């Protein structure tokens, strides 16, 4: 969520954008974006919002559609109305009943192999 110092960029339901979006603010998408999004903040894709492209954000809440990969450094929520086609990388994932997800998911910190214990002869 945006702090007092942080801006919220809104893309209205009648707006379509072709191109990349980057910055340090939260972004709310109610329209269409065809391009990558790279933000240090929260991405909210509203029920009628749609993004086709690569996404990188701290947190994301998806109620609309996404076609592309997403990398959330903290948490991703796929709400019941969401349609997500692509791969997910995040620490924490919440998928509500009714959400559609087609792809692969990598969660949490990278897993390191357990050390091998040598048996005594």
pLDDT digits (tens, 9 = 90+) for 58-116: 999 999 999 999 999 999 999 999 999 999 999 999 999 999 999 999 998 655 655 66
pLDDT at 108: 80
Alpha-carbon gap, residue 26 to 23, rounded angstroms: 8
Domain boundaries, the chain: 8-107
pLDDT over threshold 70, residue 6? no
pLDDT at 18: 97
Global confidence as pTM: 0.84
């Amino acid at each position: 969520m945006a702090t007092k110092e942080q801006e919220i960029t809104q893309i209205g339901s009648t707006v379509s954008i072709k191109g990349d979006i980057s910055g340090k603010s939260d972004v709310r998408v109610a329209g269409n974006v065809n391009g990558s999004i790279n933000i240090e903040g929260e991405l909210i894709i509203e029920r009628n919002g749609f993004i086709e492209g690569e996404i990188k954000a701290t947190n994301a809440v998806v109620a609309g559609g996404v076609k592309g990969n997403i990398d959330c450094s903290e948490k991703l929520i796929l709400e019941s109305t969401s349609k997500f086609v692509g791969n997910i990388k995040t620490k924490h994932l919440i998928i509500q009943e009714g959400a559609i997800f087609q792809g692969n998911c990598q969660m949490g910190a990278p897993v390191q192999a357990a050390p091998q214990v040598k048996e005594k002869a």
